Structure 1
């Protein structure tokens, strides 16, 4: 059974590049580390899972942070969650969601939240199975 690890070093963060770029193909690989380091100053963390047959290959990740809002109080918000296509269907997303949930519970938080693209129905099935429910619509105004 794969284990969830937290990316603590630059090398571990860079090992997550392939799966991050799969999820966010508009990003540039050479700009990832500086951006993640900046986000870490805002309490962003990356949890990841490696391939069982190749511990150097990161195949799934979740990027998350602690947030505090008037509406929800302190909670964990999952910014990013992805698994490389060849490794999908193995329960890795569920393992990452379980990890974040356990972290939130251990800290006495009341919720874990995330947004998901409107048409990402396979992901929605995973979230529903994990006990998430749709509580709002997320609106964006490009500038």
Structure 2
């Protein structure tokens, strides 16, 4: 199975139909620019291509923090619905593990929506464990909130 990192505009664009299955809120005309913008902070897009085109995609980045040390974070992992249960996702995870080792990472992390039970079973079958809950708050910019927000002190 051939797994590569998308580097050209055409390779990135070819990943969109697959990514749309996971991220339907991203318009096709925004996809390339959003990937290019995220590349500035280390995002990379790996893909599996078959004769009929790209069938699986993984967006990821390498990072380091106090909690985990050096890690690989999987932002996106998706296979076309018509190609699931054919080993593409497992192959991408295996490739990501090897990439992480080569980058000196000690852990691999990803978040998955609580409603994605099938994905959770897949991750557990692949040796991952549920380690935490992820909390989120949408911060909608508005003038009232900005006026009331305290200013952070900086040294």
TM-score tier by shorter-chain length is: over 0.9
Q: Deviations over 1:25-62 (max 9, x none)?
A: 111110111110010011100110112x32xx111100
- For the 8 Å contact 2:70–2:104, the answer to whether it is kept is no
The RMSD of aligned alpha carbons is 1.0
Normalising by structure 2, report the TM-score: 0.86
Which of residues 47, 68, 72 in structure 1 aligns to 2:64?
68
CA distance in 2, matches of 1:62, 1:117: 16
Ranges of 4+ aligned residues in structure 1 off by more than 6 Å: none
Higher alpha-carbon Rg:
2
CA distance in 2, matches of 1:78, 1:32: 18
SS of the residue corresponding to residue 80 of structure 1 reads strand
SS of the residue corresponding to residue 137 of structure 2 reads coil
Give the paired residue count: 139
State the match for 2:74 in structure 1.
78
**Any gaps of 5 or more consecutive residues in structure 2?**
140-155
CA distance in 2, matches of 1:119, 1:15: 27
* 1:31 is the counterpart of 2:30: yes
Q: CA deviation at 1:107?
A: 2.3
State the match for 2:42 in structure 1.
43
CA distance in 2, matches of 1:91, 1:31: 29
State the match for 2:150 in structure 1.
none
